[in-house]
Amino acid sequence: MRIDCKHVWEHISAYIDGEVDAELRAEIDSHLETCEICSAVLDSTRNVVVLLADDRVFELPAGFSNRLHARLEKELELAGS
Amino acid sequence: MTALNPQFGTDCIRRILAGERQLFHELIRPCERAIYFLLLSLLRNEAEAEDAAQETAIKVYLNLKNFRGDAQFRTWVLSIARNEGLGRLRKAGTRREDSLDADTDEQTGDYTPAVLACWREVPSDALERQELGTMLRKAIDGLPEIYRNVVLLRDIEEMDVRETAAALAITEGAVKVRLHRARALLQRELAPRLEGFAPKRKGMFGWLKG
Protein backbone atom coordinates (compact mmCIF):
# COMPACT_ATOMS: atom_id res chain seq x y z
CA MET A 1 0.00 0.00 0.00
CA ARG A 2 1.30 3.44 -0.86
CA ILE A 3 0.70 6.03 1.80
CA ASP A 4 -0.22 9.63 1.03
CA CYS A 5 1.29 12.89 2.29
CA LYS A 6 -1.28 13.41 5.00
CA HIS A 7 -0.58 9.97 6.40
CA VAL A 8 3.14 10.76 6.48
CA TRP A 9 2.53 14.06 8.33
CA GLU A 10 0.48 12.24 10.95
CA HIS A 11 3.47 10.09 11.80
CA ILE A 12 6.28 12.61 11.43
CA SER A 13 6.82 13.15 15.13
CA ALA A 14 6.88 9.43 15.90
CA TYR A 15 9.16 8.89 12.87
CA ILE A 16 11.66 11.46 14.19
CA ASP A 17 11.60 9.77 17.61
CA GLY A 18 12.12 6.33 16.04
CA GLU A 19 8.75 5.18 17.33
CA VAL A 20 7.18 3.82 14.15
CA ASP A 21 7.33 0.11 13.40
CA ALA A 22 9.56 -1.25 10.64
CA GLU A 23 6.75 -1.65 8.11
CA LEU A 24 5.48 1.90 8.49
CA ARG A 25 9.03 3.25 8.49
CA ALA A 26 9.71 1.51 5.18
CA GLU A 27 6.51 2.98 3.70
CA ILE A 28 7.41 6.46 4.88
CA ASP A 29 10.97 6.10 3.62
CA SER A 30 9.81 5.06 0.20
CA HIS A 31 7.32 7.98 0.10
CA LEU A 32 10.06 10.41 1.13
CA GLU A 33 12.29 9.28 -1.71
CA THR A 34 9.86 10.61 -4.27
CA CYS A 35 8.04 13.38 -2.37
CA GLU A 36 9.94 16.68 -2.14
CA ILE A 37 7.22 18.27 -0.01
CA CYS A 38 7.13 15.61 2.70
CA SER A 39 10.88 15.44 2.67
CA ALA A 40 11.07 19.21 3.33
CA VAL A 41 8.38 18.98 6.03
CA LEU A 42 10.37 16.22 7.71
CA ASP A 43 13.62 18.22 7.53
CA SER A 44 12.09 21.40 8.87
CA THR A 45 10.27 19.60 11.70
CA ARG A 46 13.50 17.83 12.59
CA ASN A 47 15.28 21.20 12.56
CA VAL A 48 12.74 22.53 15.05
CA VAL A 49 13.48 19.55 17.31
CA VAL A 50 17.25 20.07 16.96
CA LEU A 51 16.95 23.75 17.83
CA LEU A 52 14.72 23.03 20.82
CA ALA A 53 17.38 20.77 22.28
CA ASP A 54 20.11 23.37 21.77
CA ASP A 55 21.14 24.73 25.16
CA ARG A 56 22.26 27.96 23.50
CA VAL A 57 18.74 28.61 22.27
CA PHE A 58 17.15 28.04 25.66
CA GLU A 59 19.44 29.46 28.27
CA LEU A 60 18.72 29.99 31.92
CA PRO A 61 18.63 33.70 32.86
CA ALA A 62 22.10 35.06 33.70
CA GLY A 63 22.93 34.41 37.36
CA PHE A 64 19.93 32.12 37.85
CA SER A 65 21.95 29.30 39.36
CA ASN A 66 23.92 31.58 41.70
CA ARG A 67 20.77 33.19 43.05
CA LEU A 68 19.08 29.82 43.49
CA HIS A 69 21.99 28.38 45.46
CA ALA A 70 22.39 31.54 47.55
CA ARG A 71 18.75 31.29 48.60
CA LEU A 72 19.12 27.58 49.27
CA GLU A 73 22.20 28.25 51.35
CA LYS A 74 20.17 30.52 53.63
CA GLU A 75 17.57 27.80 54.00
CA LEU A 76 20.20 25.17 54.76
CA GLU A 77 21.72 27.42 57.42
CA LEU A 78 18.31 27.97 58.98
CA ALA A 79 17.70 24.22 59.02
CA GLY A 80 21.02 23.70 60.77
CA SER A 81 20.55 26.30 63.46
CA MET B 1 20.75 18.42 30.32
CA THR B 2 22.61 16.36 32.88
CA ALA B 3 20.81 13.24 33.95
CA LEU B 4 21.05 12.36 37.59
CA ASN B 5 22.75 9.06 38.26
CA PRO B 6 20.19 7.12 40.34
CA GLN B 7 22.82 5.62 42.63
CA PHE B 8 24.37 9.04 43.25
CA GLY B 9 20.88 10.37 43.97
CA THR B 10 20.03 7.66 46.49
CA ASP B 11 23.38 7.97 48.29
CA CYS B 12 23.18 11.70 48.26
CA ILE B 13 19.68 11.79 49.75
CA ARG B 14 20.69 9.36 52.50
CA ARG B 15 23.71 11.49 53.40
CA ILE B 16 21.76 14.76 53.32
CA LEU B 17 19.14 13.29 55.65
CA ALA B 18 21.95 12.08 57.90
CA GLY B 19 23.19 15.66 58.24
CA GLU B 20 25.39 16.50 55.23
CA ARG B 21 23.06 19.29 54.22
CA GLN B 22 25.50 20.98 51.84
CA LEU B 23 25.20 18.04 49.46
CA PHE B 24 21.73 19.23 48.59
CA HIS B 25 23.27 21.80 46.24
CA GLU B 26 24.72 18.97 44.14
CA LEU B 27 21.53 16.93 44.29
CA ILE B 28 19.32 19.69 42.91
CA ARG B 29 21.78 21.07 40.36
CA PRO B 30 20.97 18.61 37.52
CA CYS B 31 17.25 19.44 37.89
CA GLU B 32 17.55 23.23 37.77
CA ARG B 33 16.91 23.74 34.08
CA ALA B 34 13.90 21.44 33.96
CA ILE B 35 12.39 23.10 37.05
CA TYR B 36 12.83 26.57 35.58
CA PHE B 37 11.54 25.80 32.10
CA LEU B 38 8.52 23.90 33.39
CA LEU B 39 7.64 26.86 35.61
CA LEU B 40 8.29 29.32 32.83
CA SER B 41 5.91 27.31 30.68
CA LEU B 42 3.22 27.50 33.34
CA LEU B 43 3.73 31.05 34.57
CA ARG B 44 5.00 32.73 31.39
CA ASN B 45 6.96 35.26 33.37
CA GLU B 46 10.71 34.96 33.89
CA ALA B 47 10.92 36.67 37.27
CA GLU B 48 8.03 34.68 38.68
CA ALA B 49 9.35 31.43 37.23
CA GLU B 50 12.68 32.09 38.92
CA ASP B 51 11.07 32.83 42.27
CA ALA B 52 8.89 29.73 41.95
CA ALA B 53 11.97 27.68 41.02
CA GLN B 54 13.68 28.80 44.24
CA GLU B 55 10.56 27.97 46.26
CA THR B 56 10.42 24.57 44.58
CA ALA B 57 14.04 23.81 45.49
CA ILE B 58 13.35 24.75 49.12
CA LYS B 59 10.22 22.59 49.19
CA VAL B 60 12.18 19.69 47.74
CA TYR B 61 14.74 20.09 50.52
CA LEU B 62 12.12 20.34 53.26
CA ASN B 63 10.26 17.29 51.94
CA LEU B 64 13.26 15.18 51.09
CA LYS B 65 12.48 12.67 53.82
CA ASN B 66 9.18 11.96 52.03
CA PHE B 67 10.87 10.90 48.79
CA ARG B 68 10.19 7.19 48.52
CA GLY B 69 12.48 6.32 45.68
CA ASP B 70 9.69 4.62 43.74
CA ALA B 71 9.82 7.42 41.16
CA GLN B 72 12.87 9.00 39.62
CA PHE B 73 14.11 11.87 41.76
CA ARG B 74 13.77 14.40 38.94
CA THR B 75 10.19 13.30 38.21
CA TRP B 76 9.32 13.82 41.87
CA VAL B 77 11.01 17.23 41.84
CA LEU B 78 9.10 18.26 38.72
CA SER B 79 5.78 17.26 40.24
CA ILE B 80 6.62 19.59 43.16
CA ALA B 81 7.49 22.32 40.63
CA ARG B 82 4.23 21.74 38.79
CA ASN B 83 2.24 22.02 42.02
CA GLU B 84 4.10 25.20 42.90
CA GLY B 85 3.29 26.69 39.49
CA LEU B 86 -0.36 25.60 39.50
CA GLY B 87 -0.76 26.90 43.06
CA ARG B 88 0.49 30.32 42.00
CA LEU B 89 -1.81 30.38 38.99
CA ARG B 90 -4.81 29.45 41.12
CA LYS B 91 -3.90 32.11 43.67
CA ALA B 92 -3.62 34.77 41.00
CA GLY B 93 -6.83 33.50 39.38
CA THR B 94 -5.10 33.55 36.03
CA ARG B 95 -5.44 29.93 35.08
CA ARG B 96 -7.13 29.79 31.73
CA GLU B 97 -9.20 26.65 32.16
CA ASP B 98 -10.56 27.08 28.65
CA SER B 99 -7.18 26.42 27.12
CA LEU B 100 -7.10 23.10 28.93
CA ASP B 101 -10.65 21.91 28.43
CA ALA B 102 -11.30 23.17 24.95
CA ASP B 103 -8.45 21.29 23.40
CA THR B 104 -8.64 17.69 24.50
CA ASP B 105 -6.50 14.94 23.12
CA GLU B 106 -9.48 13.34 21.39
CA GLN B 107 -10.20 16.44 19.39
CA THR B 108 -8.84 16.28 15.91
CA GLY B 109 -7.56 19.46 14.44
CA ASP B 110 -5.94 20.65 11.30
CA TYR B 111 -2.24 20.09 11.74
CA THR B 112 -1.24 20.56 8.17
CA PRO B 113 2.42 21.49 8.13
CA ALA B 114 3.87 24.47 6.34
CA VAL B 115 5.36 23.44 3.08
CA LEU B 116 8.72 25.04 2.65
CA ALA B 117 11.28 23.48 0.43
CA CYS B 118 14.34 25.54 1.25
CA TRP B 119 14.76 25.26 5.03
CA ARG B 120 16.75 22.06 5.11
CA GLU B 121 19.61 22.89 7.41
CA VAL B 122 19.92 24.31 10.87
CA PRO B 123 22.15 27.37 10.48
CA SER B 124 25.56 26.94 12.04
CA ASP B 125 26.12 30.67 12.39
CA ALA B 126 25.76 31.72 16.05
CA LEU B 127 23.87 34.92 15.29
CA GLU B 128 21.42 33.18 13.01
CA ARG B 129 20.85 30.57 15.67
CA GLN B 130 20.20 33.29 18.19
CA GLU B 131 17.61 34.91 15.93
CA LEU B 132 16.01 31.55 15.36
CA GLY B 133 16.01 30.99 19.11
CA THR B 134 14.08 34.21 19.65
CA MET B 135 11.52 33.17 17.05
CA LEU B 136 11.26 29.75 18.58
CA ARG B 137 10.73 31.07 22.11
CA LYS B 138 7.95 33.34 20.84
CA ALA B 139 6.35 30.47 18.96
CA ILE B 140 6.45 28.29 22.07
CA ASP B 141 4.95 31.08 24.13
CA GLY B 142 2.04 31.11 21.70
CA LEU B 143 1.30 27.38 22.12
CA PRO B 144 -1.61 26.25 24.30
CA GLU B 145 -0.36 25.34 27.77
CA ILE B 146 -0.88 21.59 27.40
CA TYR B 147 1.40 21.52 24.36
CA ARG B 148 3.94 23.96 25.78
CA ASN B 149 4.52 21.84 28.91
CA VAL B 150 5.11 18.70 26.88
CA VAL B 151 7.45 20.30 24.35
CA LEU B 152 9.48 21.88 27.15
CA LEU B 153 10.07 18.60 28.92
CA ARG B 154 10.40 16.33 25.89
CA ASP B 155 12.29 18.47 23.40
CA ILE B 156 14.01 21.17 25.43
CA GLU B 157 14.91 19.07 28.45
CA GLU B 158 15.03 15.85 26.42
CA MET B 159 13.17 13.81 29.01
CA ASP B 160 11.71 10.50 27.84
CA VAL B 161 8.00 9.89 27.30
CA ARG B 162 7.57 8.00 30.57
CA GLU B 163 9.22 10.62 32.73
CA THR B 164 7.35 13.45 31.00
CA ALA B 165 4.05 11.64 31.55
CA ALA B 166 4.84 11.12 35.23
CA ALA B 167 5.97 14.71 35.80
CA LEU B 168 2.84 16.14 34.17
CA ALA B 169 0.48 13.49 35.56
CA ILE B 170 -0.83 12.56 32.09
CA THR B 171 -0.70 9.31 30.10
CA GLU B 172 2.18 8.39 27.79
CA GLY B 173 -0.27 8.42 24.89
CA ALA B 174 -1.22 12.01 25.70
CA VAL B 175 2.46 12.97 25.77
CA LYS B 176 2.95 11.56 22.26
CA VAL B 177 -0.16 13.16 20.80
CA ARG B 178 0.57 16.56 22.36
CA LEU B 179 4.20 16.45 21.31
CA HIS B 180 3.23 15.66 17.73
CA ARG B 181 0.79 18.57 17.65
CA ALA B 182 3.21 20.93 19.35
CA ARG B 183 5.94 20.15 16.83
CA ALA B 184 3.52 20.51 13.93
CA LEU B 185 2.32 23.87 15.26
CA LEU B 186 5.90 25.06 15.73
CA GLN B 187 6.91 23.90 12.27
CA ARG B 188 3.91 25.63 10.76
CA GLU B 189 4.56 28.82 12.69
CA LEU B 190 8.28 28.93 12.01
CA ALA B 191 8.79 27.54 8.54
CA PRO B 192 7.32 30.51 6.62
CA ARG B 193 9.57 32.94 8.51
CA LEU B 194 12.68 30.96 7.92
CA GLU B 195 13.27 31.63 4.30
CA GLY B 196 15.96 34.09 5.30
CA PHE B 197 17.84 31.22 6.89
CA ALA B 198 17.95 29.11 3.76
CA PRO B 199 21.45 28.04 2.73
CA LYS B 200 23.00 31.04 1.03
CA ARG B 201 24.56 28.96 -1.72
CA LYS B 202 21.15 28.36 -3.28
CA GLY B 203 20.39 32.06 -3.46
CA MET B 204 23.73 32.76 -5.05
CA PHE B 205 23.19 30.22 -7.80
CA GLY B 206 19.74 31.67 -8.35
CA TRP B 207 21.25 35.09 -8.75
CA LEU B 208 23.90 33.81 -11.17
CA LYS B 209 21.26 32.09 -13.26
CA GLY B 210 19.08 35.19 -13.29
CA distance A45 to A69: 37
Residue in B21, B23, B47, B22 with CA at minimum distance from that of residue B36: B47
Task: Indicate which of B2, B15, B21, B189 best probes the interface with A, i.e. most A CBs within 10 Å of its own CB.
Answer: B21
Nearest-Cα residue of chain B relative to residue A13: B180
CA distance B108 to B144: 15
Residue in B181, B184, B190, B183 with CA at minimum distance from that of residue B131: B190
Q: Tell me how many residue pairs between chain A and chain B have CB atoms under 8 A apart.
A: 131
Task: Indicate which of B140, B187, B189, B194 best probes the interface with A, i.e. most A CBs within 10 Å of its own CB.
Answer: B187
Q: How many CB atoms lie within 10 A of CB B179?
A: 23
Query: B43 with B88: CB under 8 angstroms?
Result: yes
| Complex ipTM value | 0.86
Query: B197 with B127: CB under 8 angstroms?
Result: no
Query: Burial, B32: exposed, middle or buried (Cβ in 10 Å; 0-12, 13-18, 19+)?
Result: buried
pLDDT tens, chain B, 210 aa long: 445 566 778 889 999 999 999 999 999 999 999 999 999 989 989 999 999 999 999 999 999 999 987 778 999 999 999 999 999 999 888 655 544 444 455 544 556 677 665 555 666 676 777 777 788 888 998 999 899 999 999 999 889 999 999 999 999 999 999 999 999 999 988 887 766 555 443 333 333 332
Q: How many CB atoms lie within 10 A of CB B27?
A: 22
